[in-house]
Structure 1
């Protein structure tokens, strides 16, 4: 038995989940069936004014995808979470999330009153409902990351979704570098071309992890990350 594991559960397809991931712990996401999408948003749990900053995250690390060795930076230059482990090599930070209009247009109308638990949910409303539990609202919601999804950008600027990118058992691990409010939603990716409403479940596991070492892949991946780690460590002095 792995005594480092603190919690494990399964988020059903189209589910929304949140947790304050404590510094010194990590959250592993696992695609159980293949084809999952886990939209994720991040805030400093001790200061909600500090939030995930997608532009800084991408430009500082010179990337348009996220994988092991990358970090998720805040708008104050610190690190909310890092990605020490990843089996896929590509997670989409560009495409945003679905909303009520896009879901109805793609999958048809299916509301709760008629379909009960089979109703067609959308990620945007799911995120807003979860944010409201912490006293937050639409103005507090910004760009997200879509874990398990791959979207490549062609030379002409078009965005191309790659189906079957994530297979059963694919995983990514998020290590909290500060106390981080993590909000997840498992609705289908907004660019998924399938017209069948079939969001997939994602298993989450929380465990204790050691602090990053001097040769940690996320720390040494680029000078910008080293500076962000310095700012983060200073925050906890």
Structure 2
């Protein structure tokens, strides 16, 4: 398949844009230890967004992998994970804040370091949302591609080192027209002393529409229901 568009998101950078349904968005780590935060919104109704609790609860999972749908707060499949080299992507750790970043990696600011100051995930997301007439109130926990956060029997969380190696890739297929927001900033639970600096390649390619025989559609009865909700939405809108 031919690449329609591509971009390398450098460490600390952010990006957002509208991507139509039936597209494959592939993310590739250009080094070890990548983390890419992602938010999704319905282009036609920005109040509908990726919902972590519903996505995890409906599919009886603690993390995301190939086969899982990325489900909105309206119960619809916004995207699905169709390629996955890692088998585990964090969906509970959230994103770094300005205070957390300063305390962990040392204080930096635009006034002193210019564009080289250390970015935080929360401010990156908010800055992109503002471009689209949104605000901090539209922020929610992101998917953290390439990161693995485990829980022990007592519920204590731990970040898994060395989970992502250079060249690891994950791809999502858009099931509806989406507004996507990306932040190449550290996972909040990453214990690395130095600010992780791993570029991530983004590629957008054409994709066939999911049908009744699709692997993701049939991952679970709840996943299929989310797809059916999206198909019904499209049918009623005539799209």
Question: C-alpha distance in 2, partners of 1:116/1:143?
Answer: 28
Partner residue of 1:118 out of 103, 116, 119: 116
Query: What does the per-residue CA deviation read over 1:128-185, in whole Å, with 9 as the maximum and x for residues that have no partner?
Result: 0000000000111112110000000111211110111100110110111000111010
Question: C-alpha distance in 1, partners of 2:49/2:14?
Answer: 19
Aligned to 1:83: 81
1:17–1:184 CA contact under 8 A, matched in 2:
yes
Aligned to 2:100: 102
Equivalences for residues 184-199 of structure 1 within 5 A: 184-199=182-197
Equivalences for residues 58-69 of structure 1 within 5 A: 58-69=56-67
- TM-score normalized by the length of structure 2: 0.96
- Aligned partner of residue 34 in structure 2, secondary structure: coil
- TM-score normalized by the length of structure 1: 0.97
1:21–1:27 CA contact under 8 A, matched in 2:
no
Question: C-alpha distance in 1, partners of 2:118/2:167?
Answer: 26
Task: Extract structure 1 runs of 4+ deviating beyond 4 A.
Answer: none
Equivalences for residues 3-22 of structure 1 within 5 A: 3=2, 5-22=3-20
Count of matched residue pairs: 235
Distance apart, 1:214 and its partner CA: 2.3
Query: What does the per-residue CA deviation read over 1:166-212, in whole Å, with 9 as the maximum and x for residues that have no partner?
Result: 00110110111000111010111111111112331100000100011
- What RMSD, in angstroms, separates the aligned Cα atoms of the two structures? 0.9
Question: C-alpha distance in 2, partners of 1:232/1:183?
Answer: 21
Structure 2 unaligned residues grouped into runs of 5+: none
Distance apart, 1:82 and its partner CA: 0.5
